[in-house]
Amino acid sequence: AIALCVAALFAIGLSIAALARTAGAARGLMAAALYPMLFFSGLYFPVQLMPTVIQDISKYTPLGAAVQAIGDTWVGQFPPTQPLLVLAGYAVVFGFLAKRYFRWE
């Protein structure tokens, strides 16, 4: 679960770095991606207390899936397939985007 989480978040970061033209633009894009992911992970407000629609959205965000998978692992259970597939999907899609658009300058 942790390896998939790291792979997904690194892929997102690398794709933002590949698409941004300057370091300032990369910082802005990263902040624009990070704060919604933190909200949907339950950092600001517990996911269990959020409306059902927000809980469903949270399951398909990278940090929401990571919290669910790592939380289940923490209590001694094997994580469900859904968050692992979500993390793997983010790692593959954003990893492909990073590979496709990365350029040396």
* Cβ-based neighbour number of residue 54 at 10 Å: 15
More confident residue, 104 or 27: 27
pLDDT of residue 105: 67
**Measured between alpha carbons, how far is 25 from 19 in angstroms, rounded to an integer?**
9
Count how many Cα atoms sit within 13 Å of the Cα of residue 65 in the half-sphere of its side chain. Answer: 25
What is the reported pTM?
0.88
Q: Which CA distances in Å does 24 have to 20, 46, 49, 103? A: 8, 32, 36, 17
Enter the tokens of residue 68.
């669910």
Residue with token string 């933190």: 38
pLDDT in tens, 53-92: 999 999 999 999 999 999 999 998 999 999 999 999 999 9
Is the pLDDT at 99 greater than 90, yes or no?
yes
User: Domain residue spans in the chain?
Assistant: 2-101
Report yes or no: 79 and 55 within 8 Å, Cβ to Cβ: no
DSSP conformation class of 41: H
